Every structure is written in C-alpha cells, then in structure tokens.
A and B are shown apart, each in its own frame.
Chain A
Amino acid sequence: MRHIISILIENEAGALSRVAGLFSARAYNIESLTVAPTEDPSLSRMTIVTNGTDRIIEQIVKQLNKLIDVVKLMDLTEGPHIEREMMLIKVKAATMAQREDVKRLCDIFRGHIIDVTSSTYTIELTGAVSKLDSFIEALAEHKIIETVRSGVTGIARGEKSLHL
C-alpha cells in the first residue's frame, strides 16, 4: 500500500542523507521525498511517499524513528489527510488554436499560466498526484516541452498535527 510519511527532523547537514541512505540500504521503495525548513529554523519537515506491505511499512516507520536526527514522525495515510503536489509544465503554444486549447485545459484544472512567450505557456498546477497525472494526459494532443514536479507534501485534516 501507498503511505505518506511526514517527519520532523533536526535541520542539520547530513540529515537528508541519513534518510535517503536508510531507504537505499534497506531496499525500501521511495516514490518521492520533499524537504524544507519549518517555521522553527532548527527543524526541517520531510514528506516521504513510499509503498510496501504492512510489515515493511512498520519497519520503515521504526527505522526512521530510530535515526537520531528524527524528532517526530507521523504516517499521514493512517487518518484523513490532505496531500498536494505542485507541478510546473512548459507547453508548446505557438498557434492561436494551441494557445486557446491549452488555456482552456488550464482553466478546467484550475492551473495558472505563469509565464508566456510567443511559442510557449508555462503553467503552475497544484493538487493530488492523480490530478497532475490527469492534466498531463489531457495535454496529450500538445507538445510538452518540460515538466517539473515538487513531490508530495501533506498534512493531517482536523485537529491532528505534527509538531513538538
């Protein structure tokens, strides 16, 4: 099963490599990993999307908790949660027809065109992984020049939270 694991980790050099190294050394899957500092500059928040059997997920959680730099951890998929990923996508938009159709699709998906040239549009789109995938599919008729995705971030719904 797919799991989204959120971690608060000491914001120290090497902390990221400990997590990445753990996944490769123990042959755990890693679909995406995002990391950035939090409002407390001594802490980073990391979101890892992984998949595996219940036994493997249990080990992943335990092994992550065992890393000395990991302060707190939560498996978001255990409860209601929100997941978001951001994508920037550069699409060919040279002819009038292309420009109109790309704009229309972008509106349908509630994206924003954030950069325009005479032959391209760059669109910013945020949502769940499946929404971003669908947008790429919807653009099948068009020429995608470049995509960049942030990887998933997430947060629990309601009162539940991951903080110190």
Chain B
Amino acid sequence: MELSGAEILVQCLKDEGVEYLFGYPGGAVLHIYDALYNQEDVKHILVRHEQAATHAADGYARATGKPGVVLVTSGPGATNAVTGIATAYMDSIPMVVITGQVSTAVIGSDAFQEVDAVGITRPCVKHNFLVKDINDLAETVKKAFYVASTGRPGPVVVDVPKDITDPSIKIPYHYPDKVAMRSYQPTVKGHSGQIKRAVDLMLSAKKPMVYTGGGVVLGKGSDELRKFVRHLGFPITSTLMGLGAYPATDKQFLGMLGMHGTYEANMAMHDCDVLIAIGARFDDRVTGKIAEFCPHAQIVHIDIDPSSISKTITVDIPIVGSVPDVLQEMNHLLANSSKKPQKKALEEWWKIIDGWRSKLCMSYDRNSDKIKPQSVIEMVHEITNGNAYVTSDVGQHQMWAAQYYGFDEPNRWINSGGLGTMGFGLPAAMGVQLAYPEDTVVCVTGEGSIQMCIQELSTCLQYGLPIKIVALNNRYLGMVRQWQEFFYENRYSHSYMESLPDFVKLTESYGHVGIRIEKPEDLRAELERGFAMKDRLVFFDIVTDQTENVYPMIAQGKAHNDMHMSPYSAPAQDSERELS
C-alpha cells in the first residue's frame, strides 16, 4: 500500500486505535485535513481554540487512561496549544500533539506562520520530534504513542513539516507493532529486596500513614491499593490528584491532605511514624514547610520516576516501579507473612485520629440565607449519586469540588493540579463526555475561569455534548480574594469581577439551557430540573456567598499542624493537644 505522508499520519492514528482527534485546521496541516476528509474511523472534533483541543484531549486521557490526540497548525496553532501541553505535562497525562510546520526547505527562514515548535515546547513535553523524512513518519508516530503512554506518562509533540505530507509523494506504508528504544526503558517491577524491607517496616509501624497520589490513578493501581490498605488497616490520605483511587466514603480514608486538606489528614501526617508514599511527588502544596514535614516518620516511596524520589524530601526506602506491580508484590508478601500489623498500637492510633476527626473540620454554615458553595457540591453529589465525572477549573470552586464531592472511583475527578490552569474545566469535560456519552459529566467552575474557554459552548452544541456546568458565581476571583483577605489585609486588588455577562442569555445564544439560581431554597429543585435534561447542556449560574473561604488552610511554608480552621468547626479541646 503506497500512501502520502498525510495519509500515513491518518492511517497511523487508525492503527493506534485513536477514536477522537481534537483539532483546528490551518495552512500547514491542510494536506492532513484532506486525508481526514474521506474516512470515519478517526473522528475529528473541531474546537474553537487550540488550547481547548489540548484540554479536551487531556480530559479524554484522564477519564479513559488512553492517550489524548491533538492536531493543530503551525505558528499560532502551536503556540495556542502550549498552555494545554504544559497542563498535561505537570500532571503526567499521556497525550500526542501533532503540530504542522512550514516546509523543510524554509524552516529557519522566518517563513509565514513559522515557530520553532520543538524549541517552544521542549521544557513542557516528555519528548518531542521533528519529522524530517517521510520514511521516518510512521515509526515516529509509534514512538510518540509509546513514550507518551508508558513509564511516567506525559505529552509528546510531533512536528510535521508541510512537504512531508505532500499528497503527490507516496511511499509504502508499514506501522510497526512495537518499538524498542535503547535510550528509554522504564522500570515497572520494583526491587524485591526493597519491597521486603518496606513490608517489614510497615508491619512494625505503630502510627502508620498511607499517602497516595496521581500515580495510583495513572498506573491503574486502585484495586491493589484497596486490598493493601484494607489488609493493613492503616489510615490513608490522598493528594488532589489521587482522589477516588481509594473510596472517599470508606472509614479508613481521612480525606485530602495538604494546603486545603482535612485537619485529621494533616495532623496524622505530622505525627505518623511510618509514611508510605505511593505515586505521589511531595509537591509543595502537600509538604508545607519542608523542615517540619513528617518529623517522626520513616518514609517508603513507590514511584515510577526515579527523579520524583528524594527530590524535596529524603526518603528511607525508595522503590522504583509501577504502583500495581509493586503493591501486588507487597500484598503477596503480606498475605503470606507470619507477622501481622501492630493491632494494639493501631487501635491507639485510630483513637487519636478519631479525636482529630471530631473537630469536624469540613463544617460550614448550613443556616445561611446565602447559597453556600459547599452545599452546592454536596447536592450535586446527591443528585448524581456520587458517580458523575467531575471536571473543574481553578480556584476556590476547585477545592470545594475536591473536598465535598467524595470520589469513590478513580478517573472521575479531572482537574489541573500542577499547573493550575484556569480554562481547563469546560474543554476537559468535552473530552470526557465524548469518551462516555451515557454518563453524567459535570464541570464545576467559577465565573472567572469559565470565561477563559467559554467559546467551547459552541463546540458542545456542534457535537451535542450534554455537559452540566455548575458555576459557583461569587463575583470574585475567589482564591485570589481569599489570599488577599488572609495575607494582604483585605486589599482586594483586581480580584473583583465586574461587568459579568448574563450567563443565562449567553448560554442560550449558544443554543443551550441556562438556569440562574439565587436562593438556597431554590437550589435543589433547580439543580434537579437541570440534571433531568439528559440530552442538553445546562449552565447553572449559581449566585453563592461572596465571602466564603476554603478551609482548612495551611499558609504557604507552614507546617502540617498549623492550620487556619473554619469558624464552624469544633473549638480546640484541651485534651486534643495531649492526644497529639
């Protein structure tokens, strides 16, 4: 079979099993668009801005575990995609981004719509390629998918000059089944000696703590994790990125940790004697003050990327490997060990933890005459039976969604944690809804964030995506306002959102349904009415309490046992200090 470069590219995507291609056309990729014209296997989704193409592919990847695929033109197409590429990079999301490039003959001549895409994206990709010969095209695409989706996943850019896709030049096509790269061989299985040492340490722990992260979701390690934690009876917390890997409703789960983590999770981190970190990267939003991080603990760290280990916190037992593989080996050792976890010590430890829990750190004013954002999320949880896919933007609403939705399954909570990209939520929801057309997909957003990619409402109409947008409209860049309240003596510099659009009319003009909710007593009925519209996109513009803050909060650079608490949580008890 003789194919042109453009046809080869499309055929590679088919052979790779790509369902959706998120893209936007332009001069440098016109040959490729022509090759897409007469086929139906790879469904192209035309976004309204290339940033959205990358976020949509990213959302698809986070929900399915399969790499998201993007096609954009050279120059502005490539630069518009950069924010989405960096977003995926920071959260280790598998993605393949094909960027058009000017013809090889004019590269470097400041040709029309030329940018050095490989250079611009280099610091925010796992790897990138410039294809200089049509004979390398198929193998390069294969390598791109392989690199993006193995080891620690990440985005890979393939820059394809226009002449490479020239329809008049055809070569025989062959898509390799496998690639071997001598320079890239990720470790999957952990070192058995280290695993044994770790298990011995766990079995002697008196105040153990399990701290999991996005690596459990990325590595599909949720089942092994559940077995592991239940067998040991240890308390478990998760980063923002790992939510759902262990069920939030299980009694061993202490909630999220870190800057906006629960009181009990952060206190248990501070006091534990053995910390088991699984697929988490000790981010500064999690560790707080490095010098006071888990001061009494011996630390085990399982991670597939050696550079995540001992990067900020030195650990005692490093294990390089993939979460399910390592945990499976640990579970096997535990099942066959004559030693059992320290039962009495664990009972004492749980008593201390229950003391912290009784502080009810997630309490808020339930009798307010304003709509409390937390109550919105709790109600959305109820209405969706806790099994919706929830994407979010960035800000206070993101933290409330993470804290109050209570994810019981992995891949359901989809947000930008590492880069914190406002504008992520709606396009990410498009990718998720395409992957799971029958499921409920909710985008929790703020009136600030939603305006960063609002144009995608048009894409949602074109492809009939019935996303439910839950906008917690506090007329503030709320997260910014909160920091200004706490750390800048209420000087609300440029954090007030004036001249907001009428979101209901705006949504209607895009052909969707808009519902504005202003009073707590209307909340349930209106949410139920909107969620009942299964085949329509509904934008809930919910007027929430403007001054609500996210609690608890550890100020940047403070230790885990130094938290701002909600005024509605239980007052500190004298006995509590003794307990801790």
Query: Using a CB–CB distance below 8 Å, which chain A residues touch chain B?
Result: 9-10, 13-14, 17-18, 21, 25, 55, 58-59, 62-63, 65-66, 68-71, 164
With A59-B307, A63-B307, A68-B127: A17-B183 Cβ-Cβ less than 8 Å = no
Residue of B nearest to A68 (CB): B127
- Is B182 on the interface with A (CB-CB < 8 A)? yes
A14 and B130 contact, Cβ closer than 8 Å, known pairs A21-B123, A25-B123, A69-B183: yes
Q: What residues of chain A lie closer than 8 Å to B119, measured between beta carbons?
A: 17
8 closest A-B pairs by beta carbon, nearest first, are A62-B307, A68-B127, A71-B183, A62-B306, A25-B123, A68-B184, A66-B307, A63-B307
Q: Give A70 to B184 CA distance when docked, in angstroms.
A: 8
| Cβ-neighbour of B182 out of A21, A25, A66, A164 (below 8 A) | A164
B311 within 8 A of A: yes
Q: Is B181 in the interface zone, CB < 8 Å from A?
A: yes
Q: How far is the CA of A107 from the CA of B305 in the complex (A)?
A: 52
- 29 A-B pairs within 8 Å (CB atoms) are namely A9-B183, A10-B183, A13-B130, A14-B118, A14-B122, A14-B130, A17-B119, A17-B122, A18-B122, A21-B122, A21-B123, A25-B123, A55-B310, A55-B314, A58-B310, A59-B311, A62-B306, A63-B307, A65-B306, A65-B307, A66-B305, A66-B306, A66-B307, A68-B126, A68-B183, A68-B184, A69-B183, A70-B183, A71-B182
- In the assembled complex, how far is the CB of residue B142 from the closest CB belonging to chain A, in whole angstroms? 14
Residues of A within 8 A of B127 (CB): 68
A17 to chain B, nearest CB (A): 7
Q: Besides A66-B305, A68-B147, 13 other CB < 8 A contacts? A: A14-B118, A17-B122, A21-B122, A21-B123, A25-B123, A55-B310, A63-B307, A65-B307, A68-B127, A68-B183, A69-B183, A70-B183, A164-B182
Give A10's nearest chain B residue, CB to CB: B183
Instruction: List A contacts of B305 (CB < 8 A).
Output: 66
Q: How many residues on chain B are close to A (CB under 8 Å)?
A: 18
Residues of chain A with a CB closer than 8 A to B314's CB: 55
Question: Closest residue of chain B to A63, judged by CB?
Answer: B307
Instruction: Please measure, in the bound complex, the distance between the C-alpha atom of A58 and the C-alpha atom of B130, giving whole angstroms.
Output: 31
Question: Closest CB-CB distance, B161 to chain A, in whole Å?
Answer: 13
Q: Which residues of B contact A (CB under 8 A)?
A: 118-119, 122-123, 126-127, 130, 147, 181-184, 305-307, 310-311, 314
The chain A residue with its CB closest to the CB of B309 is A62
Q: Which residues of B contact A21 (CB under 8 A)?
A: 122-123
The residues of A that contact B130 with a CB separation of less than 8 Å are 13-14
A14 to B184, CA, bound (A): 17
- In the complex the two chains form, is B123's CB within 8 Å of A68's CB? no
Q: Which residue of B lies closest to A72 (CB)?
A: B183
Q: Give the shortest distance, in Å, between B437 (CB) and chain A (any CB).
A: 35
Report how far A66 CA is from B284 CA in the complex, Å: 22
A25 and B123 CA atoms in complex are apart in Å by 8
Alpha-carbon gap, A10 to B122, bound state (A): 16
Tell which of A14, A59, A68, A164 has the most Cβ of chain B within 10 Å.
A68
Chain B residue nearest in CB terms to A60: B307
**Which residues of the partner chain B approach A9 to less than 8 Å between Cβ atoms?**
183
**A68 to chain B: which residues have CB within 8 Å?**
126-127, 147, 181, 183-184
Residues from chain A with a CB closer than 8 A to the CB of B118 are: 14
Q: Which residues of B contact A70 (CB under 8 A)?
A: 183
Chain B residues contacting A66 (CB-CB under 8 Å) are 305-307
- In the complex, what residue of chain B is closest to A8 when comparing beta carbons? B183
CA distance A71 to B184 in the complex (A): 7
A62 contact set on B, CB distance < 8 A: 306-307
CB distance from A43 to the nearest CB of B (A): 10
| Residues in A neighbouring B306, C-beta threshold 8 A | 62, 65-66
| Closest beta carbon of chain B to A49's beta carbon, Å | 21
Most buried by A among B130, B307, B311: B307
A9 to B182, CA, bound (A): 10
In the complex, how many angstroms separate the beta carbon of B224 from the nearest chain A beta carbon? 25
Closest to B124 in A: A25
Q: Which residue of A lies closest to B308 (CB)?
A: A62
User: Which B residue sits closest to A71, measured CB to CB?
Assistant: B183
CB closest chain-A residue, reference B156: A68
Residues on the B chain within 8 Å of A25, using CB: 123
- Across the interface, name the chain B residue whose C-beta is closest to A69: B183
Distance A62 CA – B311 CA, assembled complex (angstroms)? 10
Q: B147 to chain A: which residues have CB within 8 Å?
A: 68
Chain B residue numbers with a CB within 8 Å of A69 are: 183
List the A side residues contacting B123 at CB < 8 Å: 21, 25
Q: Which residue of B lies closest to A58 (CB)?
A: B310
Closest to B127 in A: A68
Give chain B residues whose Cβ lies under 8 Å from the Cβ of A71. 182-183
- Return chain A residues, CB-CB under 8 Å to B182: 71, 164
When C-beta atoms are compared, the residue in chain A nearest to B123 turns out to be: A25
What's the minimum C-beta distance from A161 to chain B, rounded to whole angstroms? Answer: 17
A155 to B506, CA, bound (A): 67
Q: In whole Å, how far is B202's beta carbon from the nearest beta carbon of chain A?
A: 26
Which B residues touch A13, using CB under 8 A?
130
Q: How many Å lie between the Cα of A59 and that of B127 in the bound state?
A: 19
- Distance in angstroms between the alpha carbons of A69 and B181 in the assembled complex: 9
In the bound complex, CA of A148 to CA of B182 (Å)? 36
- Which chain B residues lie closer than 8 Å to A65 at the CB level? 306-307
Shortest distance between the CB of A56 and any CB in chain B (Å): 10
Chain B, residue nearest A14 (CB): B118
Name B310's closest neighbour in chain A (CB-CB).
A58
A18 cross-chain contacts in B, Cβ below 8 A: 122
Question: CB-CB < 8 A to B310: which residues of A?
Answer: 55, 58
Chain A residue nearest to B119 in the complex (CB): A17
Output the least CB separation between B266 and chain A (Å): 25
The interface centre, meaning the residue of B122, B130, B183, B310 with most chain A CB atoms within 10 A of its CB, is B183
Q: How far is the CA of A18 from the CA of B122 in the complex (A)?
A: 7
Q: What is the bound-complex CA distance between A21 and B307, given in angstroms?
A: 17
Closest to B312 in A: A55
- CA A18 to CA B127, docked complex, whole Å: 9
Q: Which residue of A lies closest to B306 (CB)?
A: A62
Residues of the B chain whose Cβ atoms lie less than 8 Å from the Cβ of A59? 307, 311
Distance between A25 CB and nearest chain B CB, rounded to angstroms: 5
**In whole angstroms, how far apart are the Cα atoms of A18 and B311 in the complex?**
20
Best-surrounded residue of A9, A62, A65, A69 (most CB of chain B within 10 A): A62
Separation of A70 and B127 alpha carbons in the complex (Å):
12
Closest to A70 in B: B183
Question: A69 to B126, alpha carbons, bound, how many Å?
Answer: 11
Which residue on chain B has the smallest CB distance to residue A15?
B183
- Tell me the minimal C-beta distance from A38 to chain B in angstroms: 14
In the bound complex, how far is the Cα of B183 from the Cα of A69, in angstroms? 6
Complex: A17 Cα to B130 Cα, angstroms:
14
Q: How far is the CA of A65 from the CA of B308 in the complex (A)?
A: 13
